[in-house]
Structure 1
Amino acid sequence: MAKRHDFNFEGGEILSKIAAWWLVSYKYYLEIDAEHFNWSKNLTDNSINSRKSNYERSTQYHEKWLKEVLKMNQLDKHKNSGNLSGNEIKSMARELIKKLENQ
């Protein structure tokens, strides 16, 4: 099992439980593309349910976290179960930020 990364910004302890790649992928599924299912690949139901619970209780941080994702330089360091590259994660985050800022 991979070691959880601790994020040093507001709400980072919750994002550590979710994973940055998962936050972006799941939010992208909800907000942009209902056919995007990378967030659910290779995860147990328990893991998905836990991440969803943490996601739902942390909505006040999501926009800030998406902006933090854009600053992350090592998104490709650890493979994620959604098989998303760092560039893909950042591209989705940019699209989500744009949508949030236009609401």
Structure 2
Amino acid sequence: SYGVSINIERLYHVLNESDPEVVYKEKVPCPEPFNFMGIRANGDIYPCCNWDINDPLASLAQGSYSVDEILNIWRGKRWRDLRKSIIEDRYPEICKKCMQNFTRPFYDVVTG
């Protein structure tokens, strides 16, 4: 034993959607724009892997990127505005297509 216990009966009900009270129902803010930055080979920068590739939050000139350039983008207005909108529960439209879908309660996601 690794000190982990699992209530199999409860897990069964959760997986079979028969006991909604045991499923997490609160909204969870998306953590991606707070701890992730994706940079494509062409220099386009995105806040998550689900973001529309035709709408990067920023772009860098191809070649070597300086830490200062990346920090300026990370701290820049578009990134700050995105974080603020997530904190205020005003997600961009693209977030509705996210596989993790932090825009609605987990129970709604698993029950369709």
- Per the normalisation by structure 1, the TM-score is 0.29
Higher helix share: 1
- Per the normalisation by structure 2, the TM-score is 0.28
Structure 1 or 2, whichever has the larger Rg, is: 2
